[in-house]
Amino acid sequence: MGVCSHDLHLRDTTSKGVQLLQQAGIESVRTDAHWAFLERKRDQLKVERHWPAYLAGNEAQGIESMFILGYGNRFHGNGEKPRSEPVRAAFNRYVAFTAQQFRGRIKHYEIWNEWDVEDPIDPQFTQDYARLITDAAGIIRQHDPDAKVLAGAVTTKGIESGFALRLVEAGIMQSIDGLSLHPYVHCRNRGKNTPEAWIEWLAEVDLELSSAANQPVPLYLTEMAWPAHQGACGIDETLQAAYLARSFFLAKTLPNVRGYWWYDFRNDGTDKREREHNFGLVRQDYSLKPAYRVLETISPIINNFEFVGRVGNSPDSVQLQFSNGQEQLLVAWAPDRPRPATITATGKTTGDLKLLDTAQPDKGWSSFKAWQCASDTGTCTAQIELDRFPKIVSLGEAASPDTGQTLTISTR
């Protein structure tokens, strides 16, 4: 579970951002290690003075870092993509220098960012990137063999245009640890821009890519979010928080998805009508948005529980079961409108019902004796209402696999 952040480039390394990251349960931060910043003079590579201090701050909080290696450099091909031999050679020197300087400190390297934006259709454009990936991955492994190497950063248009598929068909999975995707859907038509429609589409992409590779393709969602702005493709901050919770839970239903980095940590500006200013978990001044509060609440589950399976087949609600080996959770919501629901427990029920409502994250877990049990059947029921925010239900120790207990939710 990660976020994208631009705070590496703040010269104030005492920023309170790192404490907020740790508090929210963030495990990884993805940031730009601009080629142009490391080579500010031709053929002279130098680390920005404040970068080591920034990394040390993250490391002190147990937060890993992902560096994006990319973007042009004006000294080489006037900042063009490294497609010609001289520019490729200069780019590879930059990759080698970065891997040497930060050996053991960067968990993931991502080779370039959204290469496909310029031309997601031209096969030669794809092949040039595939070659860059192969060269850079080999260089990174030579200088920092413990780092994981990702590539792709393929946009939604690139996925739909076959760019990601062509990369896999070109054999890049032999060189890298995972394919990175940026599967934004916020500008799709109504009904196709929800987390539920998103995961359905992503499952199809997952299947297509793995079929082409003849093996599972590890997928890293290194950018994904819904912006909360006043304008086209925008939603309000409350719905952004609900979508965040639903998308993180749904991402865990696809085994090939190995990570999800919300874009981004902090709003890039203060204009409420500007889309690029309103993707963040926190505002420009680091004040907390509802999305941050929700992520802080669900992160222990996202980080520590595994997806068990879907429960029921109701078209009106989503029900997902999770377990950490000792406790079982049922996560449920109604995407369209609030609906009354009945929780049914079969088997031995000894404890109170525990409920966490992500719509009210500050309240935390609540317990209440809501069960109505039938002595002849051993079945107990409780009433709740589902809405667009996930509700998380637990029976504590009574819901361990050894009891043979099951927990379901039915809507009406």
Cα 329 from Cα 311, distance rounded (Å) = 11
**pLDDT score of 401:** 46
What strands lie across the sheet with 379-386, from one edge to the other? 372-374, 379-386, 339-346, 406-411
- Taking residue 254's Cβ as centre, other Cβ atoms within 10 Å add up to 17
The share of the chain scoring above pLDDT 90, in percent, equals: 80
User: What does the pLDDT average to over 380-392?
Assistant: 91
In this model, does residue 180 exceed pLDDT 90? yes
In this model, does residue 84 exceed pLDDT 80? yes
**pLDDT score of 252:** 98
In this predicted model, which residue has the larger pLDDT, 291 or 50?
A: 291
Cα 191 from Cα 121, distance rounded (Å) = 27
1, two tokens? 């579970």
Lowest mean pLDDT among 175-189, 200-214, 299-313: 299-313
**pLDDT score of 138:** 98
Cα 81 from Cα 84, distance rounded (Å) = 8
**pLDDT score of 233:** 95
**pLDDT score of 131:** 97
**pLDDT score of 371:** 72
Lowest mean pLDDT among 21-35, 186-200, 208-222, 361-375: 361-375
Cα 355 from Cα 89, distance rounded (Å) = 57
Please tell me what DSSP assigns to residue 281.
S
Q: How confident is the model at residue 311 (pLDDT cuts 50, 70, 90)?
A: confident
User: What does the pLDDT average to over 258-265?
Assistant: 97
Cα 126 from Cα 113, distance rounded (Å) = 13
Contact 165, 211 (CB under 8 A): no
User: What does the pLDDT average to over 25-54?
Assistant: 96
Q: Is 286 left (phi over 0), alpha (psi -120 to 50) or beta?
A: left
Positive or negative, the Cα torsion across 366, 367, 371, 375? positive
Cα 239 from Cα 335, distance rounded (Å) = 11
For the chain, the first-to-last Cα distance in angstroms comes to 34
User: What does the pLDDT average to over 26-42?
Assistant: 97
In this model, does residue 398 exceed pLDDT 80? no
User: What does the pLDDT average to over 92-120?
Assistant: 98
In this predicted model, which residue has the larger pLDDT, 127 or 328?
A: 127
Q: Indicate the angle between helix axes 85-101 and 123-143, nearest 10 degrees.
A: 30
Torsion from C-alpha of 152, 153, 156, 158, nearest 10 degrees: -40
Lowest mean pLDDT among 213-227, 285-299, 329-343: 329-343
**pLDDT score of 369:** 63
Q: How confident is the model at residue 187 (pLDDT cuts 50, 70, 90)?
A: very high
Torsion from C-alpha of 186, 190, 191, 194, nearest 10 degrees: 20
218, two tokens? 């590890």
In this model, does residue 399 exceed pLDDT 50? no
Entry pTM: 0.94
Average pLDDT, the chain: 92
In this model, does residue 403 exceed pLDDT 90? no
Residue 148: HSE in the Cβ half-sphere, 13 Å Cα cutoff: 17
Gyration radius of the chain's alpha carbons? 23
Residue type, 247: S
pLDDT tens by residue, 53-80: 999 999 999 999 999 999 999 999 999 9
Cα 29 from Cα 9, distance rounded (Å) = 13
What strands lie across the sheet with 306-310, from one edge to the other? 306-310, 318-323, 328-333, 391-394, 353-357, 365-368
Of 7-16, 336-345, 389-398, highest mean pLDDT:
336-345
